[in-house]
Amino acid sequence: MPTYGASAKDIVGTRMSSRRARRYSPEILENAAPHVDWSDYTGMRAGVTFLEVLTLVQLGAPKTSIHESERQIPMRDGYASTIEIAKPACKAPGGGPLIVLIHGGDGSVSPKTSWWLLPALVRRSGVVAV
């Protein structure tokens, strides 16, 4: 399982040579990503969950509420692909920015990878996310 909260020395010792490490500022080294064992799915999922919670805590309380919905989009082969939409509950005058997340992964690390962040982003910034 990845070690969260490892010191910069631990991270540098496992990830890069000390000569390469001198090129990075101390702030980057103190906050470097932990080493990840890509063959350990349980550990990866725990790490993803940890990062999701940490990010949501750092975002703080939402500024506004959102409306979330799903739509089925028919594909050429007859498959119906589900898209998820998150938008502010109150419409901005003249519309607003749109973020389209396209994820081609298989969802093995976590289902709907990165979707968890979009509702928080919508709440904080007022964008529409699909």
- pLDDT digit string (tens) for 6-26? 444 444 444 444 555 556 667
pLDDT value at residue 18:
52
Q: What is the pTM of this model?
A: 0.48
Q: Report how far residue 69's alpha carbon sits from residue 59's, in angstroms, rounded to the nearest whole number.
A: 22
pLDDT value at residue 77:
95
pLDDT value at residue 10:
42
Q: Report how far residue 83's alpha carbon sits from residue 71's, in angstroms, rounded to the nearest whole number.
A: 5
Instruction: State both tokens at 74.
Output: 């028919």
Q: Beta strands 66-74 and 80-88: pairing type?
A: antiparallel
Residue 38 DSSP SS3: coil
pLDDT value at residue 11:
40
Q: Report how far residue 59's alpha carbon sits from residue 27's, in angstroms, rounded to the nearest whole number.
A: 20
Instruction: State both tokens at 50.
Output: 């940890």
Q: Report how far residue 36's alpha carbon sits from residue 123's, in angstroms, rounded to the nearest whole number.
A: 31
Residues of the chain scoring pLDDT < 50: 1-17
